Amino acid sequence: MEPVIQIKPGTTKWDIRQKVWDYIEEKNLANFPRPVHNRIPNFKGAFTACTKVSELQVFTKTSEVKVDPDKTLEGVRMAVLQARKTLLVPTPRLRTGLFNKITPPQGATKEQLRICSSAQGVKDFSVPVGLDAKVKVDLVVVGSVAVSEKGLRIGKGEGFADMEFGMMASMGAVNESTVVVTVVHDCQVVDIPEEIIESHDLTVDYILTPTRVIKTDCQFPKPLGIIWTKLNSEKLEKIPILKKLRDLEEQGGKDVTLGAPPVAEEPGFQTSRPARQPRRRPRQNMQGDAEEESKDEKRAEFEKKARQRPARVRRESRGDGGKEGENQERRRVKSGGNMREKGPEEGGSEVGSQRKLPPTVTTVYLGGIPAGLRVSELKTALREREAAPLRLTWQGAQHRAFLDYIDPQAAEQALEALQGLSLNGSSLQAELAKSQRGGKRSGQSNRRPRPSAAPWSKPAQADAKSEPKEVTEQ
């Protein structure tokens, strides 16, 4: 079957990712969460593709199955639980361990199993599994951005699926014969050049799409351990379980020499990503996103200028720079300080586009942010819980942030997902911003809640003075 997305010689992994993400968005092939950029796409027809896993002969013989936590693979997790097999799901970003074992309630109904297979169920019905546990994984199911019929796979660029398989190999949970399955839309099956696949990249044996089951007969080996030279000390700090595994392997006499830290690496970037790549998308494919490119190129210049301004007029976003930041300052003055209504979306947004916010935008207040937490870490946590906002206003010095969602329904879904969120040992408080609870029209303002029962009755002049605090990093 001829791929619908054509890949030219010399194409990089990021080129391929961008082509796939753009195609899925342009053809409207995705479900929530959108946009699909920097995600494993939750494509339309994913559940149908997931159900095909039970048709695989290897599935009937398995007892323990590891399935990634992506929304796309919810149907696979459901199939594993319905078949009464042991379901293992990686802990989010490997921060607290390697696996969580999902344990449904005794005699769980189909609806309860569906809940257990969801992101919330993974949190509520799981038990941690350590490196020293005696685990034998028979089948591994991963998400992908692109995959070839030869079994070559490209993820979203963070390397977690590759690391997880290497760690499982180190603890004896998988080996070279362990079957790996991926679930993708038909358009994600492309011709991936063999020369861009590296030794640490995970390959797949089966590809499930809404219309096909592809047996790849892949000739490329799977990573049978962590390749320490591909990692650095910064990565180990972010993933404590890697430090524990490295200590164990060092005690066993293995070479655990780390690679050099990346040059001028931006927060949240991965070591495999080119140093000059923009934060959200590769430079080569920035069509329709020139402002985002400008942010990265002028970051240093703008931050230098920002430090020279009073704190109250500094932009909260690390991504805004140069003339864009100055233009937004002027727009805020002209609009009486109401950036929420008239300003463009801020660069600190997790999923921000360059469009104006819709009039139905609903704001969620997030309090209790611990000192020292980075905005990139909060964005990561929001993405993991599928609660990424249209715009994020960061006020770390005041231990709070404001999250703008497209409408009240999206805000309610986010509130539900954020219940019980804990970062760096601190529990965060998520609730509708006071502007929403007070009956003001959505999107009007996100000021810090005040004791007054009618915070919107103050004169407009007072509003103009206090508003800039909402978009500063103090």
User: 459 falls in which pLDDT band (50, 70, 90)?
Assistant: very low
Q: Which helix (H) or strand (E) holds 187?
A: none
Helices (H), 94-209: 110-117, 119-124, 160-170
Q: How many whole angstroms separate alpha carbon 388 and alpha carbon 379?
A: 7
Structure tokens at 19: 């082509």
- 426-427 and 422-423: which strand pairing? antiparallel
Share of the chain above pLDDT 90, in %: 32
* Whole-number pLDDT of residue 140: 96
Confidence of residue 79 (pLDDT cuts 50, 70, 90): very high
Task: Say which residue, 247 or 181, is predicted with more confidence.
Answer: 181
* pLDDT at residue 276, as a whole number: 37
- Give the type of residue at 56: L
Q: In the structure, what pLDDT confidence band is assigned to residue 397 with cuts at 50, 70 and 90?
A: confident
Average pLDDT over residues 422-433: 84
Tokens 């997902």 belong to 417
Q: What is the pLDDT of residue 468?
A: 31
What's the confidence (pLDDT) of residue 471? 35
Q: Model confidence over 249-258: pLDDT tens digits?
A: 888 888 888 8
Most confident of 137-141, 230-234, 293-297: 137-141
- Least confident segment among 115-129, 151-165, 380-394: 115-129
The predicted pLDDT at position 249 comes to: 84
Looking at residue 151, its pLDDT comes to 96
Angle separating helix axes 290-297 and 299-308, nearest 10 degrees = 60
pLDDT at site 191: 95
Q: What is the pLDDT of residues 172-199, one digit of tens each?
A: 889 889 999 999 999 999 999 999 998 8
pTM for this predicted structure:
0.56
pLDDT mean over 216-227 = 89
Handedness of CA 371, 374, 375, 380 (dihedral sign): negative
CA 157, 163, 166: angle at the middle one, nearest 5?
Answer: 145
- pLDDT value at position 341? 35
Write out pLDDT tens, residues 344-390: 333 333 333 344 667 788 999 999 998 888 888 888 888 888 888 98
Look-up: residue for tokens 């992908």?
144
Predicted local confidence at residue 302, as pLDDT: 52
Most confident of 113-117, 422-426, 470-474: 113-117
pLDDT at 313: 40
Instruction: Report the candidate in 294, 334, 337 with the shortest Cα–Cα distance to residue 317.
Output: 294
* 3-state class (DSSP) for residue 395: strand
The overall average pLDDT reported for the chain is: 75
Token pair, residue 182, equals 């991926």
Selection from 96-105, 383-392, 464-473 with the highest mean pLDDT: 383-392
Asked whether 331 and 339 are in contact (CB, 8 A), the reply is: yes
Q: Give the pLDDT of residue 352.
A: 39
Q: CA 463 from chain center: how many Å?
A: 35
Nearest to 170 by CA among 198, 201, 133: 133
Q: For position 437, what pLDDT does the model report?
A: 60
Mean pLDDT of all residues in 410-423: 85
**Mean pLDDT across the stretch 120-144?**
85
- The encoded tokens of residue 151 equal 């079994």
Structure-block tokens of residue 94: 């490997």
Average of per-residue pLDDT across 43-62: 94
pLDDT surpassing 60 at residue 271: no
Measured in whole angstroms, the distance separating CA 360 from the mean position of its chain's CA atoms is 25
Do 392 and 402 touch, CB atoms closer than 8 A?
yes
Q: Which of 212-216, 351-355, 406-410, 465-469 has the highest mean pLDDT?
A: 212-216
Structure confidence by residue, pLDDT tens digits, 311-343: 444 444 444 444 444 444 444 434 443 333 333
Spell out where 261-419 has E strands. 362-367, 391-395, 400-405
Report the pLDDT value the prediction gives residue 451, as an integer from 0 to 100: 36
Model confidence band, residue 308 (pLDDT cutoffs 50, 70, 90) = low
DSSP state of 43: B
- Cα–Cα distance for residue pair 447/431, rounded to 1 Å: 13
